Structure 1
Amino acid sequence: MTGVERSRVDSFGHPEDGLFEATPWYHWGPYLSERSWGTVREDYSADGEAWDYFPHDHARSRAYRWGEDGMAGVSDVGQNLCLALALWNGRDPILKERMFGLTGPQGNHGEDAKEYWWFLDALPSHSWLKWRYHYPQAAFPYADLVSENGKRDHSQPEYELLDTGVFDDDRYWVVDVVHAKADPHDLLMEVSVTNAGPDAAALHVLPHLWFRNTWAWDVDAPRPSLRTLGPDRVAVDHPTYGELVWEVDAADTTDGAAPELLFCENDTNTGRLFGSADSPAFPKDGINDHVVSGAATVNPDGTGTKCAAWYQLAVEPGQTRTIRVRLRPPSTEPAFGADFDDVLAQRQADADEFYGEVIASDVGDDERLVARQAFAGMLWGKQFYCFDVKRWLNGDPTQPPPAEQRRGGRNAAWTHLDARDIMSMPDPWEYPWFAAWDLAFHTVALAHVDPAFAKYQLLALCREWFQHPNGALPAYEWAFGDTNPPVHAWAALHVWDIDGRRDRTFLARLLPKLLINFTWWVNRIDPEGDNVFGGGFLGLDNISALDRSHLPAGARLEQADGTAWMAFYALSLLQIANELAAEDDSWTDIEVKFIEHFVLIADAMRSTGLWDEEDGFFYDVLHLADGTQVPIKVRSIVGVLPLLSTVVLGPGLLGPLGTLNKRFRRFVGRFDPEELAKGRGQVLKRADDEVLVLGVVPPGDGLRVLSRVFDEDEFLSPYGLRALSRYHRDHPVFIDLDGGVASVDYEPAESSTGMFGGNSNWRGPVWMPVNYLVVRALQRNARNLGEVSVIEYPTGSGQVVELDVCAQDLRRRLISLFLRGPDGRRPSYGQVDKLQNDPRWRDNITFNEYFHGDNGAGLGATHQTGWTGLVADLICRPDPFAADGPGGVW
């Protein structure tokens, strides 16, 4: 990290009273979501149908309770004041103030954004942010998108915005937005619009400035204000930063005059939505109604809590017009001109210098572009998250009381959760909320560019306003009580490593809270006390033939992945304790505890039926109420995850093990040359040094599993590992349950089932996070296992290589999802010619939620840079274990 950028972000204060606190450079950032309608936080319905309670049609007219939304937006860290962009092409029925998409029930594959926008660049200090959007010049086809997708079923593809024809003949606007900071509280915004079409056209550009509504929910709450200071200046009474001035440039308007300043209130239009007779005169949609239909709904006195600068631009074909606005403390210096240009140029140079250090010089230009945009998406994914569950359940004193049944409904057991933080979210539209295991993966990529923020994310979820008193970590707001895979400790080790292995205080603060969480897993998710764990869907949605979170009456499920995750968790906690014990031997007892747990779980994986000797694979086992055991023989990533758990016991760890007495000695006693020769021993003594290697899976059995993983007719696709073996394309699995039949077969693209909402699919596509874990496990094991780490790759090829060669090839396949191939096409953009070939589109990268198992086309959420942003780490760290010494678990 460059000295300049590190000086802006390297210091990071810990939060007080739930509020994110940091250096001043963090005080303004891209914290404004692109969707707040349809979220759980805004749902006050009796039935919990969030999509229906606050639909897109309400968003322009209804004040949000918990957070705002906008396009290309920034806000202060407490989201008191927001700055974003609105557009109008003169044909739409409403201003384009926020991204549009289908709700879960509307989409034939669940919720889905129906816009084209990209996060092109960002610095962790938010002193440089770059965003692009393509806006049709024809009327936006809102109704057509809803209607046509509503006609399609799960077997048909989604109907996308390009399919509607609104981009035909290039009749659209290229809208580029840049935010830059002259100093922590001097914000510059430049909007450039280019007419990509063949004819002259007009565009209305409306930068918006407004206060989040914090006054409608409490009796006598203060109301902030915006007021005009003239034709091009607005006074801002900001509750945190004092007086600010918003200045707008008139230099590039049609006639050279200042844009028109419009004011209204960020209050609900109760007349439009609910037929109320006492609706405010200048409500939240007042600017929209005035611009679109000429309504007298803006305040002629030039005051309010929401305002916009209304630019009306006539643009020739191929021409670019630029407007500028600036938010800063009062100053006598000119707002625009050479100083503005200098700041933008300097921040662009800062970004180039910064990424010149983050991304190695020998990385190719296309890989560099992908990594930089992946990091940009990660940084744009920092979002304001405000949610007081107890208050949400009980309602606000100024509002009608919520229905009584809400008190026992969604998240009723999480009344301690009271968050007001900046969180890393999977994406700002489809998932504008944090998810625990997603967030852990995010931090690995974020650690390259913003290690302080990455560490804060892992610590925050373990603080008392997030972590449940019983030890559980909140999964995600649709169901905080669901179980996500426990990857927090693993992520902490990666973040610590990327940050230079220097912050042991971070590990020491995190470990006690993770001990509590581990104990919660042991007490709650292992009902039989046999060290075999369940957990339900565990983030893998529909991967099984049955819904793993909703089993037949009286049944329980022992899960290969749940048990493997816990072995992995134990090893990660062992590694943290080992690092801390290097300077403080009081952590030695914790080392012993987690070696013991690991041994017990490893034993259980072998003794309770999860391993199928005939198939050479791990499967879930369903225990029915009548005592019948039903193996769920689905070859999926569930059966591959046990390979993640291997530990190297060097002298530093072998010493404390005497305290385990007979139990551990008996386990180590399985170091039997005859067993090892058969590849069956779980303990391997390396010949080159005094270390033991322990694994959940003996090397020989691991190679049997990998023979399927590396089979191109099973898991290995040209673009990574499929979540489900392609074997099931011709061999579907059917399971009889209480007279019904559950089934699963290979589906390389979108899901054909509505399980878990139908908006994600683990039955064949390539998912980045589990692929990433396998790549890193292969690299680690290649170093740890020595001579036994050779295998035929791909299976059936006759080519025998070491595991690190397999890992590097798999890494290459994953990165290639986003790179132009010999034909100039990026696999992730599939068969969409506009995205593949058009110069204005083809180098703007989206990072999808998952990818087609055969051709690599991007699927699911289109902007989930979150865990798919791990590709940046794969590019920047080809092999993190190459120079590591004995003892590295992760």
Structure 2
Amino acid sequence: MTGDDTAEHRRLAETTGRADDDLFSANPWYEWGPYLSERAWGTVREDYSADGDAWSSFPHDHARSRAYRWNEDGMAGISDIRHELCLGLALWNGRDPILKERMFGLTGPQGNHGEDAKEYWWYLEGLPSHALLQWRYHYPQAEFPYERLVEENARRGLTDFEFELMDTGVFDEGRYWSVDVTYAKASATELYMSIEATNHGPLEATLHVLPTLWFRNTWRWSQRTDLPSLSLDADSIAVEHPRLGGYRLQAAPGADGSQPRALFCDNETNLARLYGASRITAFPKDGINDHVVGGADTVNPDQRGTKAAFWYQLTVPAGGTRQVRLRLHRPQAASPWDEQACDRVIAARRRDADEFYTALGPDLDEERMRVLRQAAAGLVWSKQMYPYRVSRWLDGDPAGPPPPESHRHIRNAGWRHLDAFDVLAMPDPWEYPWFAAWDLAFHAIAWAHLDPAFAKYQLTVLLREWFQHPNGALPAYEWNFDDVNPPVHALAALRVFVLDGSTDTAFLERVFQKLLLNFTWWLNRQDADGNNLFGGGFLGLDNISPVDRSHLPDGVRIEQADGTAWMAAYSLAMSILALLLANENPVYDDMVVKFLEQFVMISEALEASGLYDADDGFFYDRLIDAAGNRTPVKVQTLVGVIPILATVGVPLEQVQRLASLRKAAARRLDDSESDEGQVFPIRESGGVPRAVVSLVTPEQARRTLTHLLDEGAFLSPHGLRSLSRRHAEPYAVPGLPGATIDYEPAESTTSMYGGNSNWRGPVWMPTNYLVVRSLLLYDELLGPDFTVEHPTGSGRQHTLREVATDLADRLIGIWLPDGSGRRPVSGGQRLLAEDPAWKDNLLFYEYFHGDNGAGLGASHQTGWTALVVDLLLDPPSRARKVFGRRFPPAG
């Protein structure tokens, strides 16, 4: 079956929306999904401290004992769409001091390169409707080395490698469990949970498996008295709840035919353990943990509570596998366990997944299909319910003590209007279990292949009144909504529009109207001198500069090549949005003119600024001190590449309209009124004459590409580095002590912006992706006669489409086996690269080693790294769709 006529496509036929009852009634398949985060401890939302140190305010050690305020976390977890009832997994190997209920990792201050998860887990399957989900985890049989991981990483410095769980030896001789959790829906209100545990060790071993059901604590903060409850009814945990009442978690018998024991406690903070205060209940949140691990009398003998688990004890021979099966459903009446039903439903949903992904990528070979399916699974598993009412967080809850006064001023004090209660595409559920504005735009592009309605919702939701600031700003990310991310929403909207069939102009119009506010905010807030040269600070690029661009020395300001170029690209994207809308409503003609005019002003300002170095053929930032002295920051980074991304083809009929209106843009579009080097050339493209509107001339683009395609500079075997390798010799900014930078292909050796991200050399997917798609657009506009040397110095000329294809292949190759059968993403870890139980489980990291492609940074950043989905399904070699900037012939 091909196209969109599959069982899964039919499930997705209804649109998605805000997480309320309307969504459930529109598409009940979304009622249950992987909305449960993998980390809620150490997050901003749970931080009520006086100093804003979120990591210390709610550490991992508190997580098992302390009820969360805003969300929940767990392993392999799902929840209902309002995040009120959660289902997850707990494990115990008989040796650990605590149950394994959530993933462990280092906090920002603990890690020698910032926060970092210290576990191994993967997302193997995911259908967008959540009809099938599969998750895999490798759990040591030896005691988990919590303290050693903390102590050793604390001992290591910025120039040392991270100390990983694998380095401790706990996986030696195969002494670990692989645990597969699969959810499969028989219907929107009936889903099966299968847990398969395989003993990879040389000896028989016992694993305690505790599938756990619990309510998010919504009553403690609001003084509610109508508490929900869970209770035992025969072989099921019965749910009593105003909205979810009638659901039952039914447990299959164990291998010996006996029913697992049901354990109950309350999702309430253990005040005695944490603070030495009187308990709210004798059976607090960690009651099941304390009972299983230490035999404590901390589970309710009346078998009622707000948290419950079935306790299976699996004794498995070496190499053997045991299965635990459960059903979460809302039956009309109690029904006995059906031995074969779980397997039947899982098999049916696997067929649906095969059908769905084959329809998406019918030409993909086995390995590329593996990359597609696991990248897509990561996207699906990273869907999160995001509740955050900032005014309530700042002021405190009616039923609780007010937070310290300083808490109200540490962060996000200007965002009181933000009142989120939405399902969002997160960067990942552990290291970044919160949305980030520009990440989310890239997520939407990948999502457009899987579920276009959800992709469009992701782009519109941040523009709604409960997210977008009244002044037009978009919230950057939870840690600091005031930070500035690159304005890529318009570009993403165009791409999603094209992938969705280029028909939903209502979506474009909604996006356009709200982006008008955001564009104006940029003009008013990020152009300090009103000269169309823009700043923006770090712009999501963390430590790419030798100076912290958001925190400059007193009296120093910056003119940014990338800030200015992003605004030029934003202007062009808005002009194309307006042009598409003008095809149906001529009212938008004026907006086409307005944004082309704005682009011209930015372009002329950039030309006059001196940020472009004609000798180098590259753009550089510039520092300006209090005396007006200007110092170029002559570092070749992706900052200097962003200007070549601002390109579009404008139909000649629109050019003629500009000329008739005597607009300034016409001066640059009319050969007779322009000096050489300022002309936007007219080219035939798709049978339509178009002006190549760009920040750079074709020859300037060619000059920049000589650096970009140089294997001794930007071009690596697996994509474009973010900093030229030529800077292996450190560069220092003249007159600014300590402002130095050098090429760092792996982890960062600077603590700038937390030290947990490195733009100083590794390969990042989002900027690589933008370069690939822009090269395709240049190729479309300049034609096959425009060629460049690739790689630089090779003597071989290639079209820009061929260059884009090669870059895409290098990026995809990060996950493909090389000649020796090893995947570059696995780096030097033999187990990850060679062991059959590990090597085909793929991780989609935050960024990749600039020389060998090994995965680095956040290990599950399937968000923007899932752009590989777009490269696989619309490869440059045959792409006919760029960013939606193609238009029907005039008339």
- Shorter-chain TM-score category? over 0.9
**Within 5 Å, which residues of 2 pair with 1:610-689?**
610-658=611-659, 660-670=661-671, 675=676, 680-686=677-683
User: In the TM superposition, what is the alpha-carbon distance from 1:789 to its structure 2 partner?
Assistant: 2.4
* Alignment-derived partner of residue 306 in structure 1: 307
* Alignment-derived partner of residue 865 in structure 1: 862
Pick from 789, 792, 795 the counterpart of residue 792 of structure 1: 789
Any idea what SS the aligned residue of 1:690 has? Answer: strand
* Alignment-derived partner of residue 745 in structure 1: 742
State the distance in 2 between where 1:488 and 1:104 align.
29
User: In the TM superposition, what is the alpha-carbon distance from 1:648 to its structure 2 partner?
Assistant: 0.9
TM-score under structure 1 normalisation? 0.97
User: In the TM superposition, what is the alpha-carbon distance from 1:504 to its structure 2 partner?
Assistant: 1.1
280-289 vs 583-592, which moves further? 583-592
Any idea what SS the aligned residue of 1:217 has? Answer: coil
5+ long unaligned stretches in structure 2: none
State the distance in 1 between where 2:790 and 2:877 align.
22
* Alignment-derived partner of residue 357 in structure 1: 359
* Alignment-derived partner of residue 815 in structure 2: 818
State the distance in 1 between where 2:158 and 2:672 align.
52
The letter of the residue matching 1:733 is Y
Any idea what SS the aligned residue of 2:350 has? Answer: helix
Any idea what SS the aligned residue of 2:198 has? Answer: strand
User: In the TM superposition, what is the alpha-carbon distance from 1:886 to its structure 2 partner?
Assistant: 12
State the distance in 1 between where 2:706 and 2:674 align.
24
After superposition, the Cα gap between the structure-2 partners of 1:116 and 1:653, relative to the gap in structure 1 and judged at 3 Å, is same
* Alignment-derived partner of residue 459 in structure 1: 460
* Alignment-derived partner of residue 215 in structure 2: 211
User: In the TM superposition, what is the alpha-carbon distance from 1:802 to its structure 2 partner?
Assistant: 1.0
Any idea what SS the aligned residue of 1:531 has? Answer: coil
State the distance in 2 between where 1:881 and 1:596 align.
33
**Within 5 Å, which residues of 2 pair with 1:767-806?**
767-786=764-783, 789-806=786-803
**Within 5 Å, which residues of 2 pair with 1:268-417?**
268-330=269-331, 331-359=333-361, 361-417=362-418
User: In the TM superposition, what is the alpha-carbon distance from 1:887 to its structure 2 partner?
Assistant: 8.2
**Within 5 Å, which residues of 2 pair with 1:164-563?**
164-230=168-234, 232-252=235-255, 255-330=256-331, 331-359=333-361, 361-563=362-564
State the distance in 1 between where 2:564 and 2:851 align.
29
User: In the TM superposition, what is the alpha-carbon distance from 1:587 to its structure 2 partner?
Assistant: 1.1
State the distance in 2 between where 1:464 and 1:314 align.
54
User: In the TM superposition, what is the alpha-carbon distance from 1:272 to its structure 2 partner?
Assistant: 0.2
* Alignment-derived partner of residue 580 in structure 1: 581
5+ long unaligned stretches in structure 1: none
State the distance in 2 between where 1:279 and 1:673 align.
78
The letter of the residue matching 1:146 is V
State the distance in 1 between where 2:472 and 2:218 align.
32
Is the contact between residue 20 and residue 420 of structure 1 (CA under 8 Å) also seen in structure 2? no
Is the contact between residue 72 and residue 85 of structure 1 (CA under 8 Å) also seen in structure 2? yes
Any idea what SS the aligned residue of 1:769 has? Answer: helix
Is the contact between residue 19 and residue 82 of structure 2 (CA under 8 Å) also seen in structure 1? no
User: In the TM superposition, what is the alpha-carbon distance from 1:664 to its structure 2 partner?
Assistant: 2.2
After superposition, the Cα gap between the structure-2 partners of 1:788 and 1:553, relative to the gap in structure 1 and judged at 3 Å, is farther
Pick from 724, 734, 740 the counterpart of residue 732 of structure 2: 734
CA RMSD of aligned residues (A): 1.8
After superposition, the Cα gap between the structure-2 partners of 1:527 and 1:15, relative to the gap in structure 1 and judged at 3 Å, is same
User: In the TM superposition, what is the alpha-carbon distance from 1:242 to its structure 2 partner?
Assistant: 2.9
State the distance in 2 between where 1:533 and 1:318 align.
61
State the distance in 2 between where 1:670 and 1:405 align.
60
Is the contact between residue 119 and residue 380 of structure 1 (CA under 8 Å) also seen in structure 2? yes
Is the contact between residue 60 and residue 285 of structure 1 (CA under 8 Å) also seen in structure 2? yes
State the distance in 2 between where 1:349 and 1:70 align.
28
State the distance in 1 between where 2:92 and 2:882 align.
59
State the distance in 2 between where 1:492 and 1:222 align.
44
TM-score under structure 2 normalisation? 0.97
User: In the TM superposition, what is the alpha-carbon distance from 1:879 to its structure 2 partner?
Assistant: 2.8
Aligned length: 880
Any idea what SS the aligned residue of 2:368 has? Answer: helix
State the distance in 2 between where 1:52 and 1:811 align.
41
* Alignment-derived partner of residue 597 in structure 1: 598
Pick from 79, 83, 86 the counterpart of residue 79 of structure 1: 83
698-707 vs 571-580, which moves further? 571-580
Any idea what SS the aligned residue of 2:798 has? Answer: strand
Any idea what SS the aligned residue of 1:242 has? Answer: coil
State the distance in 2 between where 1:859 and 1:801 align.
31
Q: Percent identity over the alignment?
A: 57
Any idea what SS the aligned residue of 2:842 has? Answer: coil
State the distance in 1 between where 2:678 and 2:814 align.
38
State the distance in 2 between where 1:860 and 1:826 align.
17
Any idea what SS the aligned residue of 1:686 has? Answer: strand
The letter of the residue matching 2:731 is V
Pick from 101, 126, 141 the counterpart of residue 97 of structure 1: 101
In the TM superposition, what whole-angstrom CA distance separates every residue of 1:526-558 from its partner, at most 9, and x where no partner exists? 111111110000000000010000011122111
State the distance in 1 between where 2:495 and 2:85 align.
35
State the distance in 2 between where 1:51 and 1:785 align.
51
User: In the TM superposition, what is the alpha-carbon distance from 1:333 to its structure 2 partner?
Assistant: 4.0
Is the contact between residue 648 and residue 887 of structure 1 (CA under 8 Å) also seen in structure 2? no
Is the contact between residue 86 and residue 206 of structure 1 (CA under 8 Å) also seen in structure 2? yes
State the distance in 2 between where 1:674 and 1:462 align.
41
Is the contact between residue 270 and residue 279 of structure 2 (CA under 8 Å) also seen in structure 1? no
* Alignment-derived partner of residue 27 in structure 1: 31
The letter of the residue matching 1:429 is W
State the distance in 2 between where 1:504 and 1:881 align.
26
State the distance in 2 between where 1:385 and 1:109 align.
27
After superposition, the Cα gap between the structure-2 partners of 1:779 and 1:161, relative to the gap in structure 1 and judged at 3 Å, is same
* Alignment-derived partner of residue 144 in structure 1: 148
User: In the TM superposition, what is the alpha-carbon distance from 1:653 to its structure 2 partner?
Assistant: 2.4
Is the contact between residue 9 and residue 356 of structure 2 (CA under 8 Å) also seen in structure 1? no
In the TM superposition, what whole-angstrom CA distance separates every residue of 1:649-672 from its partner, at most 9, and x where no partner exists? 214522432464151232223568
User: In the TM superposition, what is the alpha-carbon distance from 1:240 to its structure 2 partner?
Assistant: 2.1
